[in-house]
Structure 1
Amino acid sequence: MKKININDVIIKPLITEKNSKLTADNNTYVLEVHPDATREDVKRAVEYIFARSNAKVKKVNITKVKRKPKKMGKYEGFKKGFKKAYVILSDGIIPIYGSEGVEKAKKDNKKGLKIIDTEKLMKEAEKNIK
């Protein structure tokens, strides 16, 4: 087993509708992690990197996503496989896209994420350009 730098354990957050719902309802974050990372590595990395937001890890589950065949015209290949971790926090947050809406929803005792009015934002952007 080779040693992994604590900053290299977490590759990126996986942001999908399903993962956003998990974050809002169960305080569970889904992260893509290093292929050699263990549960303890992920726990230490999350608590170290997100120490400012008081993130305390309750539980970590890890799964491997297998590579899948992909065709593009006459070419064939594979989408890469990766390892992902489901991190359940007992305290604090991981400040990724949408976390502010999750915290506000928790305070208001509402489920779901903050809804952004894109039409309003586009109109404001057009006013700023002119």
Structure 2
Amino acid sequence: MGRDITQTNLQLTPYQIIIRPLVTEKSLVAAERYNQYAFEVHPLANKRMIRQAVEELFNVKVVRVNTQNRRGKPRRFRFKRGYTKSWKKAIVTLHRDYRIDFF
């Protein structure tokens, strides 16, 4: 049914796993209140890979990683129909002694 990442032996660098940080009003509030940061990540990356990548790139201690697979939305341009791309979102909770400064 689902893809098993352990059998594919996929080797991704931390820069390939973390595609970009998601900086929105909602994510900034979560960062201030709960020390949680949102990232767009590689669709085949699992929670362990995401944890290692964030710890290596930002020199922080990760407590928890939650992931969501976001489906593409239907879009239309004139008479053509299509979908935006599906993507994976990771919400990373850091230890209370650590912070990530994006700005």
- For residues 18 and 94 of structure 2, the distance between their equivalents in structure 1, rounded to whole angstroms, comes to 16
**Offset of 1:50 from its aligned partner?**
0.8
**Offset of 1:18 from its aligned partner?**
1.1
**Offset of 1:24 from its aligned partner?**
1.1
User: Rg bigger for which structure?
Assistant: 1
- 2:46 aligns with 38
1:58 to 55, 58, 63: 63
- 1:107 aligns with none
**Offset of 1:5 from its aligned partner?**
1.6
- For residues 94 and 75 of structure 1, the distance between their equivalents in structure 2, rounded to whole angstroms, comes to 42
2:74 to 66, 69, 74: 69
- For residues 72 and 28 of structure 1, the distance between their equivalents in structure 2, rounded to whole angstroms, comes to 36
- For residues 95 and 17 of structure 1, the distance between their equivalents in structure 2, rounded to whole angstroms, comes to 15
- 1:18 aligns with 26
For the 8 Å contact 2:20–2:40, the answer to whether it is kept is yes
Q: Which has the higher contact order (CA 8 A, sep 6+)?
A: 2
Greater share of residues in helix:
1
Identity %: 35
For the pair 1:95 / 2:68, whether they are aligned, the reply is no
Please, what TM-score do these two structures have when normalized by structure 1?
0.68
**Offset of 1:77 from its aligned partner?**
1.2
- For residues 28 and 77 of structure 2, the distance between their equivalents in structure 1, rounded to whole angstroms, comes to 30
Q: How many residues align?
A: 94
Please, what TM-score do these two structures have when normalized by structure 2?
0.84
Classify the secondary structure of the residue corresponding to 2:53. helix
Superimposed CA distance per residue, residues 34-73 of structure 1 (whole angstroms, 9 cap, x where no aligned partner): 111111111111111112xxx1100001110011100122
